[in-house]
Structure 1
C-alpha cells in the first residue's frame, strides 16, 4: 500500500493566505526550531511541500475547456463559465495560483537551507541530496502550472524573508521556464533512480524528474499567448513561440534526451490500460505510474477525485453519492477506433442508480470512467473524499513526448519516434498490429497523429487544454469540435450512421471492485417498432433513446438547439482566452502587479 503524507503544521508555510505568507518564520526561527539541524525534520518539511503541488482546480476548472470534456453545471455557475471561456478578473480562478506559490515558497526555503547542512555520514548526506533534489523538482513543476495558465508571472527564487520587499512584478515566461528546466536538471543530478531507492510513487525519483523535465521543455519550446511587457498594449497580444529558434531546438533536444534516459533505464513499462486506473483507485503500485499526488488514507484530502470527475452514483446506491460536475463531450466517445480498449476505461457508458444498478448513459451524459468509485475496494474516507491519488506523470506520456520531440528535431518521424508512438498504439489494441493502421511518415501528419494520440491516451488527466495551446491550435481545434458536436446532434456529416437507440440489459452494481467496464448493447438505427420492442424487452433488454432525456444524471436532450449545446465554448476568442487574467484580488494583494493585467481584460 502507498504511504500517507500528512502536512506537518508549523514546519513550513502550510496555507496560501497573504497574511500567513508574510508571517513565514525567518531563517533564525528555523534555526531555533532546529528544523535544518535534523535530517528527519527536513524530510517532514519536504513532505509538507508536496501538499502544495496539486489542487482540484487543475483537473476541474483548468481541466475543462478542451475537446474532451464539458461542464454539467448551469450556465451561471462560475465553473461552467470557466469551462466555456466566459471569465473576467473578477471571477478568474485563484486556487492554483496561490497553492503553487505556497509550494514554491516552501521549496525556496528548503533550497536555501539544505545546502548549509553537512554530514560526515555518507548515507545521511545522500538523504540530504535527495531532499534537495525533491525541492528543486517541486519548484520547477509548480511554476510550470502557474505559467501554463497565467503566462508571465512573478518568479520568486529565494525565500520571502530574503526579499527586499513583498512586491513582485511579472517576469517573462521564457525566463521562468528556462529556470524550471534548470531546476529539473539539478533535481536529476541529486535524485536516485526509483529502482535503486525504493522511493514511493508519491515522491519524485530520477525517473519522474526526467519526465517532468521533458514536459517543461516541450512547453518552453511551444506556443503561448504573449504581449509586450513594457507597454501592455492590446495590439501586442499574439500567440507565438519565443523568438530564439536555437533555444527552441535545444529545448526539444532536452525533452528528447530526458525521455530517452527513462526508456533506456528500463524501470518503467506500459501495463494493461484498465489496470492503471484500478491500481490508482486502490492505492497499488505499478510500473507505468511514475509520480502521483498522494491522498490514499488521508482524511484531509479535499480534491474530490472520483466525486466531481467520476461517474454518477446515486446517494442511495451501494457506493453512496458521486456527483460529477464534468462529463465527456458526446463526440469524444466516437474518436476511439473499434477495438481500442481505452474508450470504455476512459469514458463510462453507465451510471449507478438508487437501486444499485448499472444504467446506460445517453450521448449527452457519458461520464469520466478513469476515477469511477465502483472500481474501488471500499468507499474511502468520505463520500466526497474517496482518497484517490492523482497521476502527475505516467510512462505512456513519456513515450509520446519522446516521439513528439524526435519529430520536431528531425522534421519528420524517425525510427525511434515511430517505435515510441506505436508502443502506445499497440497497447491500446492489445498488441494486435493489424488494428493500429499505418503510422504517418511526414512531419505534419505525424504531429497530428501525436496530437490525437495524446487525446485518446491521456483523456481527463489535466493536460489537454494547455497542450492545445502549446501547439498553437486551441481556437481551431475547439471550433472544429463545436461543429462536430452540432453534426452529431443533427445526425449529419460523419455521424449519419450513429445509432439513435440502444438496447441493453440493466445489471446489478452491488459489489466493490466492480468488474463492469462497460455495458454491452445492441445498436439500433431507428426506434424499434412495437413488436421489435416487445421482443427485445422479453429478452430482458431496455430500449434507450441516445438523444433523449432518460438518464440517471444530466438528463438533458441532445439536440442542436438545447441551451447546453449552444453554450459550449460560447466565450472562445482567438488570441485572448489562451491565458487567464489574474484575479482582481491577486493584483490588489501585490503592488508589483498593478497595471500588469492581461491586456485584453
Structure 2
C-alpha cells in the first residue's frame, strides 16, 4: 500500500469490566502500513495507537489555568505561571498540545486513507472496519479542535504526510477547518455503533460520544474567536468576532442541538451522584454519566500526571505519598457555589494531607482542585506522579448544558426543552430539591448568562473554561470582573464583607484508601476569637486557622490585595490579543510554510 508510515501501536483490546484494563500498553512497536492493514486486528491496534495522541497535560495544566476558576501556584518567573496570566511570547508559547494533536491527526489520516482499501470476509468484519474508520474520523476532528481553540488558523492536513507534495503547510481559515471537522464527526456518526450495542469502553469513541463531540465542535464553530486577515496579517485587522456567514452559524446551532437530542433520546446515559463521578474516575470505574475518557493505565501512559499536578496536596511522607499541585482554585470560586450545592466540596478540596497523614484545612489562597484527589483512590497507583487516573473528555452533564445553550441560541430565548436540560443539571447539584434551584431565566440574555455560570460550576477544572469564555466573546470582561472580585475578597469588602476571617476545625486522620472525607467541617468566625473562645475551642480539639494567613500545607502565601501573587493575577490580559496563543518560535522554524504567519500582535 503506502511506503513505511510509522504508527505507535497500543495494546490489548476489549472485553473487560474496568475501564483501566483497556489500553494496558505493551512496549511500543513500529509498524509500516504494508503490514498494519493486512488484517482487522492490526488495524484496530493502529487505531488504539492513535488514541495515545489525543491528550496531553497542557490541556488541563497551562490551558486550564488563567480562568475565573483556576490560577497557577508557581512563581511569577515560571513559564507556566506566565502562560496562565497571559504573559505570552513566542519563546514560551506552549508546544506540546500542538505537536501531540498533529501526531494524532497524522495517525488518523493514515487510517482514513488505508482502512477503506481493506477487504472484509463477512458483514461482521466490515462493520468492525466501519467502526475503526469512524474512530479515526472522530480522532482527527477532536484533535483539530484542540489546536484551533488555542491557536486559531493553523495548518489542516487531511492526507498522510507521504502523500503531500511537500512537507510544509500554511495557516488555513479556522472556519474551513471546523467545518471539515463537523463533516468528519458526521461521517463518524454514520460509521460508529451505539455504545449500548457495542460494549465499547469509555476510552473509545462510540456513536454517543461522537454526537457529543459534534455538538461541542459546532458550538465552537458558531462562536467567537480571534481573527485577522490571512492575506495581510495586518495588526489592525485583529478582532474578536464570529464568522460572517450568519446562515452557517444558525446551521451549526441546529447541528449542536440535534446531536444532543439524539443522545438524550437514545437514553443510554444519565446523571449520577456528583461525588460518585469522580470517585469512579480516580478508581477506573464505568458509570452512565461519563461518555468519553482518555485512558491512563500503566507507567507508560501516566505522562499527564493527573491527580498530581491538578490534585490536592499530599506530603511526600503521608500515607498517600506525594501529590504536588501546581494549580489551585481561585479564592473567589469557592463563594460562587450557592448554599446546598454539593458540587462545591467535590470540586474544591478544603483540606490537604500532612506528613502526619491528617487532614489539614486549606486557607482561601490554597483551596485545591478536588476532583482528582489521590486519597479517594483504592490504591497508590504506579507512583506518586502516576496515579492511573483517566481524563474525562466528555460527560452527560456537559451535553445537557450544550443542548440548553443551542436551544436558547436558535430560539432567541429558552424553550421548554432548554429549561428542562438546564434544570436537570441544577437539580442534581441540589440533590433534587427544586426549592433550592431558583427561578430559571425566561429571556435570552439571562438564560445565556445562567448557562455560562452553570458550566463554570458544573465543569470546573475539566479543561474547557478558558476557551468557552473566548467562544462566548467575554474572556476579557469576565476575567477583569474576576480580578476585582479577588481584590474585594482580599479586602473583605462589597459582597465579601461578611466572609469569615477565621475557621475552627478538627484535624482528622487520613490513613486509608477510599478516604470518605469530602470536606472538613468548620466553625466560622468573622473576627479573631477572644482568648476565652480560643481556650474553649482548644479543649474541644479544634485548630484555629486564619483564612487570610500563611499557615498552609502548600502555597503558604498570605491573601491580601498587596501580595505579589494577587497583584499579578491576569497581569498580561489584553482584549483582542490574548484570546489566542502565538505560535512558538520552534513551531514556525520547523515549518517553512508558517514563515511570516505569526499572530500579528506578537
SS state at 1:253 partner: helix
Runs of 4+, deviation exceeding 2 Å: 6-12, 296-300
**Which deviations, in whole Å up to 9, do the C-alpha atoms of 1:391-410 show, x marking residues without a partner?**
00000000000000000000
Asked if the contact 2:22/2:201 (under 8 Å) is kept, the reply is: no
**Which deviations, in whole Å up to 9, do the C-alpha atoms of 1:444-479 show, x marking residues without a partner?**
000000000000000000000000000000000000
**Which deviations, in whole Å up to 9, do the C-alpha atoms of 1:539-596 show, x marking residues without a partner?**
1111100000011111100000000000000000000000000000000000000000
For residue 521 of structure 1, what is the aligned residue in structure 2? Answer: 522
- Cα distance in 1 for partners of 2:338, 2:544 equals 25
- Cα distance in 2 for partners of 1:48, 1:11 equals 11
Change (3 A) 1:291 1:37: same
- Cα distance in 2 for partners of 1:344, 1:307 equals 19
SS state at 2:488 partner: helix
Q: Note if 1:102 corresponds to 2:92.
A: no
Give unmatched runs, 5+ long, in structure 1. Answer: 13-28
- Cα distance in 2 for partners of 1:189, 1:8 equals 33
For residue 342 of structure 1, what is the aligned residue in structure 2? Answer: 343
Q: CA deviation at 1:87?
A: 1.4
- Cα distance in 1 for partners of 2:138, 2:26 equals 18
**Which deviations, in whole Å up to 9, do the C-alpha atoms of 1:173-220 show, x marking residues without a partner?**
000000000000000000000000000000000000000000000000
Q: CA deviation at 1:300?
A: 3.5
**Which deviations, in whole Å up to 9, do the C-alpha atoms of 1:414-449 show, x marking residues without a partner?**
000000000000000000000000000000000000
Of residues 30, 34, 39, the one that matches 2:33 is 30
For residue 62 of structure 2, what is the aligned residue in structure 1? Answer: 61
SS state at 2:107 partner: helix
For residue 259 of structure 2, what is the aligned residue in structure 1? Answer: 258
- Cα distance in 1 for partners of 2:596, 2:47 equals 36
For residue 579 of structure 1, what is the aligned residue in structure 2? Answer: 580
Calculate the TM-score normalised by the size of structure 1.
0.96
For residue 468 of structure 1, what is the aligned residue in structure 2? Answer: 469
For residue 73 of structure 1, what is the aligned residue in structure 2? Answer: 74
For residue 198 of structure 1, what is the aligned residue in structure 2? Answer: 199
- Cα distance in 1 for partners of 2:36, 2:550 equals 59
Q: CA deviation at 1:350?
A: 0.2
> What does 1:194-593 correspond to in 2, within 5 Å?
194-593=195-594
- Cα distance in 2 for partners of 1:526, 1:566 equals 25
Q: Alignment RMSD, CA only?
A: 0.8
- Cα distance in 2 for partners of 1:120, 1:96 equals 39
For residue 20 of structure 1, what is the aligned residue in structure 2? Answer: none
Q: CA deviation at 1:53?
A: 0.1
User: What count of residue pairs does the alignment treat as equivalent?
Assistant: 583
- Cα distance in 2 for partners of 1:127, 1:120 equals 11
- Cα distance in 1 for partners of 2:44, 2:197 equals 19
- Cα distance in 2 for partners of 1:11, 1:293 equals 22
For residue 113 of structure 1, what is the aligned residue in structure 2? Answer: 114
SS state at 1:370 partner: coil
Q: CA deviation at 1:297?
A: 3.6
- Cα distance in 1 for partners of 2:428, 2:413 equals 23
Q: CA deviation at 1:11?
A: 4.2
- Cα distance in 1 for partners of 2:371, 2:562 equals 30
**Which deviations, in whole Å up to 9, do the C-alpha atoms of 1:218-247 show, x marking residues without a partner?**
000000000000000000000000000000
Q: CA deviation at 1:46?
A: 0.3
- Cα distance in 2 for partners of 1:267, 1:470 equals 29
Asked if the contact 1:299/1:385 (under 8 Å) is kept, the reply is: no
Asked if the contact 1:259/1:399 (under 8 Å) is kept, the reply is: yes
Asked if the contact 1:4/1:297 (under 8 Å) is kept, the reply is: no
Asked if the contact 2:47/2:136 (under 8 Å) is kept, the reply is: yes
- Cα distance in 2 for partners of 1:35, 1:372 equals 39
Q: CA deviation at 1:8?
A: 6.7
Q: CA deviation at 1:296?
A: 2.6
- Cα distance in 2 for partners of 1:530, 1:345 equals 34
Q: CA deviation at 1:482?
A: 0.1
Give unmatched runs, 5+ long, in structure 2. Answer: 1-17
Calculate the TM-score normalised by the size of structure 2.
0.96
For residue 24 of structure 1, what is the aligned residue in structure 2? Answer: none
- Cα distance in 2 for partners of 1:8, 1:382 equals 19
For residue 15 of structure 2, what is the aligned residue in structure 1? Answer: none
For residue 25 of structure 1, what is the aligned residue in structure 2? Answer: none
Q: CA deviation at 1:37?
A: 1.2
Q: CA deviation at 1:10?
A: 3.9
Q: CA deviation at 1:35?
A: 1.1
For residue 167 of structure 1, what is the aligned residue in structure 2? Answer: 168
**Which deviations, in whole Å up to 9, do the C-alpha atoms of 1:24-62 show, x marking residues without a partner?**
xxxxx522xx21111000000000000000000100001
SS state at 2:576 partner: coil
SS state at 2:37 partner: helix
